[in-house]
Amino acid sequence: MFKERAIEKMKEVFKENTWWMDHTFSVLKYAEEIMEGEKIPQEEREQISLIAILHDIGAIDAIKIHGSDAAPYQEKEGARVSREILEKIGYPKEKIDRISYVVGSHHTFSKIDGVDFQIQWEADLLVNLETRPVRSDREKLKAAIEDNFKTTTGITLACERYLK
Ligand SMILES: [Fe+2]
């Protein structure tokens, strides 16, 4: 139920920017596919879905406040906006800190410190590799997949989509 409420809030934030909305749904789909493949316990899945739903939620305010959606601004505003949304929908306080941390660090590889963050990283990259220049160089792309993907399901999805 928190998932549906968070999706409604996400749609409100991105109502004038459907690109972000579509991107978010694509990332959520991959996150859920990875969770299924990795047999993540049901009780942990909602939390990871919420991370995916809110991961780019700071983009609009980053542009409004800083004039740029560059990673550090998006992370900073995302940490705040995700927390506000989760508080508004009544999500348990003890779980909000973790989501806010992941959203607030989601562009920073060195901050990955758990399977929830790793799944978010892989789901986002599965979508974003589509437009990365590295795609045109097969060897570099292989290396990028090796460096970034850790879950068996994520590796399989990345190879199927980008190396076949
Ligand atoms: Fe993203």
Residue 83: predicted pLDDT: 98
Q: Give me the residues near ligand 1 (ion), CB cutoff below 5 Å.
A: 56, 124
Per-residue pLDDT of the chain (164 residues; tens, 9 = 90+): 999 999 999 999 999 999 999 999 999 999 999 999 999 999 999 999 999 999 999 999 999 999 999 999 999 999 999 999 999 999 999 999 999 999 999 999 999 999 999 999 999 999 999 999 999 999 999 999 999 999 999 999 999 999 98
Domain count for the chain: 1
Amino acid 114: pLDDT: 98
CATH code of the domain in which 11 resides: 1.10.3210.10
Whole-number Å distance, alpha carbon 137 to ligand 1 midpoint, is 22
Angstrom distance (rounded) from CA 158 to CA 153: 9
Structure tokens at 135: 């795609």
CA dist., res. 96 & res. 51, Å (int): 10
Q: How far, in Å, CA of 142 to CA of 56, rounded?
A: 26
Give the Å distance between the CA of 90 and the centre of ligand 1: 24
Nearest to 34 by CA among 125, 123, 129: 123
3-state secondary structure of 159: helix
CA of 41 relative to ligand 1 center, distance in Å: 24
* Structural domain boundaries, residue 23: 2-162
